């Protein structure tokens, strides 16, 4: 369990703070294999709840789960030129198996478009076989040079959706629909506000037609690409001969999409909500929402209070006001440990709500509550306690989103921003900068070289400035787009 050494503060060293929180909240640990991690039960519990919520959303929109092999023939990777060029530097390759050199090398999947569309081509003959709407939960290997727990590791967990459609309109609608599913999850469950839009040509998925993204802003004012949805066009269908006979009798290539989010979202959760006392977990994703801490001085008091704590837990967990999503409760009745030490530990681990139960609370027929997010404390009457606690958890969930959105908005810069001012922002506080761009990739590359900032998205209409800039921030030429710049993870 975590020690009582104070965390490095966010203001002093945000990167060190992040790593300390992940390690000491027991979300993950370093693996013997450099660049990879072990996801510990606390971290995996968060990921499980993310999986469950997303899986329900995918199935509600007509998708089904499948599983495709980890190993991909090299010839498959080479069929789509842009794809192999984009992923080649990150690929791990198997050259030997069973003690012999393989006739054809096998790539450990960096993503699964190639093998999935090969299989789709076997399964599709007619327009009646479309659409195919599939998702898989899997692990991915990308040979990253600079790694950080959850945010960028050699191996990570994710889901990748893959679909095939009869028309481009259907494919484009699918890509946008799934972008909306991601946004709903990120804002409703992670309580992490995002902006949506599409990527510039240099930032889009290798081999895709257009990449849509959800971009979040962390507390250090760096952007996190939290999820992407790709309109792949017909590139992979043509590479893998994924054709169908249309209703008119013509033979046509299918239109594909792919979309994915990963365990990177756990890192996003840490950096969006954590504070100098440790992790802060949104209730919807907390494996434990409530910890009950009975407080006693004598053995007689201990017996009564532990019994009362168990009754309280039973009342909370049996409450059916949230349907099947029952309150998740843990009792900390460890002996030989002071209450303050327990409070410290549960705060570090980000449990949304602590309920303290002492002799005076029993007399008053109440329980004393402490919120993790604001650290506000209040007595809650035992009568109707489950409904009161559930309502408080809902308030914590919404308050976390409100606070995160306020931080993002405070670090968002709009208006007629000069390139010199832009550089000052990127060298200083950082944040999202909305600015005009003339559409020239050379200008985009120049800004990246000089400031390390990249175009995060060309924002959707909802996020564009009311008075969009008319000139390019760098060249002064007419702007073809308003874009969002930021330094990013």
User: Same domain for 132 and 268?
Assistant: yes
User: Same domain for 33 and 130?
Assistant: yes
Residue 343: in which H helix or E strand, if any? helix 339-348
User: Same domain for 227 and 308?
Assistant: no
Q: Is residue 299 part of a domain?
A: yes
* Mean pLDDT rounded to a whole number for the chain: 96
User: Same domain for 34 and 182?
Assistant: yes
Burial of 466 (0-12, 13-18, 19+ CB in 10 A): exposed
Instruction: Count Cβ atoms below 10 Å from residue 222 Cβ, excluding itself.
Output: 17
User: Same domain for 250 and 319?
Assistant: no
User: Same domain for 248 and 306?
Assistant: no
Residue 58: in which H helix or E strand, if any? helix 41-60
Domain end among 244, 273, 302: 273
Sorted by sequence, the CB contacts under 8 Å of residue 102 that are 6+ apart come out as 94, 95, 96
User: Same domain for 234 and 124?
Assistant: yes
d(CA 228, CA 203): 11
- Residue 2 pLDDT > 90: no
CB 350 within 8 A of CB 274: yes
Q: What is the number of domains present in the chain?
A: 3
- For 183-224, the pLDDT digits (tens) are 999 999 999 999 999 999 999 998 899 999 999 999 999 999
CATH code for position 148 = 3.30.930.10
User: Same domain for 236 and 302?
Assistant: no
Q: Give the mean model confidence (pLDDT) for residues 3-23.
A: 93
Instruction: Record the pTM.
Output: 0.95
User: Same domain for 248 and 317?
Assistant: no
Q: Is residue 444 part of a domain?
A: yes
Q: Is residue 40 part of a domain?
A: yes
Q: Is residue 281 part of a domain?
A: no
- For 420-435, the pLDDT digits (tens) are 999 999 999 999 999 9
pLDDT of residue 4: 64
3-state secondary structure of 257: strand
- For 65-120, the pLDDT digits (tens) are 999 999 999 999 888 767 667 777 889 999 999 999 999 999 999 999 999 999 99
User: Same domain for 210 and 341?
Assistant: no
- For 370-385, the pLDDT digits (tens) are 999 999 999 999 999 9
CB 266 within 8 A of CB 282: no
CATH code for position 370 = 3.40.50.800
What are the structure tokens assigned to 32, written together?
């013997």
User: Same domain for 81 and 217?
Assistant: yes
d(CA 142, CA 161): 18
The DSSP call for residue 81 is H
Domain end among 273, 302, 330: 273
Q: Is residue 240 part of a domain?
A: yes
- For 341-379, the pLDDT digits (tens) are 999 999 999 999 999 999 999 999 999 999 999 999 999
User: Same domain for 385 and 417?
Assistant: no
d(CA 182, CA 457): 16
Q: Which range marks the domain in which residue 50 is found?
A: 14-273
CATH code for position 456 = 3.30.110.30
What are the structure tokens assigned to 36, written together?
């990879």
Domain end among 218, 249, 273: 273
Q: To the nearest 10°, the Cα dihedral for 334, 337, 343, 347?
A: -80
Q: Is residue 282 part of a domain?
A: no
């Amino acid at each position: 369990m975590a020690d009582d050494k104070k965390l490095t503060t966010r203001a002093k060293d945000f990167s060190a703070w992040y790593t300390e929180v992940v390690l000491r909240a027991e979300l993950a640990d370093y693996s013997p294999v450099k660049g990879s991690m072990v996801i510990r039960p606390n971290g995996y519990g968060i990921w499980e709840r993310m999986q469950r919520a997303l899986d329900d959303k995918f199935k509600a929109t007509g998708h089904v789960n499948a599983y495709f092999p980890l190993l991909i023939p090299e010839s498959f990777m080479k069929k789509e030129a842009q794809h192999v060029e984009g992923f080649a530097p990150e690929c791990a390759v198997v050259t030997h198996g069973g003690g012999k050199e393989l006739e054809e090398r096998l790539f450990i999947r960096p993503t699964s478009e190639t093998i999935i569309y090969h299989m789709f081509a076997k399964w599709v003959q007619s327009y009646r076989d479309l659409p195919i709407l599939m998702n898989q939960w899997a692990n991915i290997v990308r040979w990253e040079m600079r790694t950080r727990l959850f945010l960028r590791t050699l191996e990570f967990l994710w889901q990748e959706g893959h679909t095939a459609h009869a028309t481009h309109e259907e494919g484009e609608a699918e890509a946008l629909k799934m972008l909306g599913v991601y946004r709903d999850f990120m804002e409703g469950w992670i309580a992490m506000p995002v902006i949506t839009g599409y990527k510039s040509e240099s930032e889009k998925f290798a081999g895709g037609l257009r990449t849509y993204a959800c971009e979040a802003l962390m507390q250090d004012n760096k952007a996190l690409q939290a999820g992407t949805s790709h309109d792949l066009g017909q590139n992979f269908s043509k590479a893998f001969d994924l054709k169908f006979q249309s209703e008119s009798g013509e033979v046509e290539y299918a239109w594909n999409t792919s979309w994915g989010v990963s365990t990177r979202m756990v890192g996003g959760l840490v950096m969006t909500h954590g504070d100098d006392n440790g992790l802060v977990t949104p209730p919807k994703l907390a494996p434990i929402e409530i910890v009950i801490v009975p407080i006693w001085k004598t053995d007689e008091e201990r017996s009564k209070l532990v019994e009362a704590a168990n009754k309280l837990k039973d009342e909370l967990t049996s409450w059916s006001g949230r349907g099947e999503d029952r309150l998740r409760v843990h009792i900390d009745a460890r002996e030989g440990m002071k209450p303050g030490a327990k409070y410290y530990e549960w705060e570090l681990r980000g449990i949304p709500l602590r309920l303290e139960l002492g002799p005076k609370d029993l007399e008053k027929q109440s329980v004393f509550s402490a919120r993790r997010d604001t650290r506000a404390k209040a007595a809650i009457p035992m009568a109707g306690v489950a409904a009161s606690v559930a309502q408080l958890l809902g308030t914590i969930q919404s308050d976390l989103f409100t606070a995160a959105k306020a931080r993002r908005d405070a670090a968002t810069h709009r208006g007629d921003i000069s390139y010199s001012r832009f550089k000052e922002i990127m060298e200083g506080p950082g944040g999202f900068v909305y600015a005009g761009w003339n559409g020239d990739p050379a200008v985009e590359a120049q800004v990246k070289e000089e400031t390390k900032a990249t175009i995060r998205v060309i924002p959707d209409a909802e996020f564009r400035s009311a008075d969009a800039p008319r000139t390019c921030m760098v060249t002064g030429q007419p702007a073809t787009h308003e874009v969002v710049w930021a330094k990013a993870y």
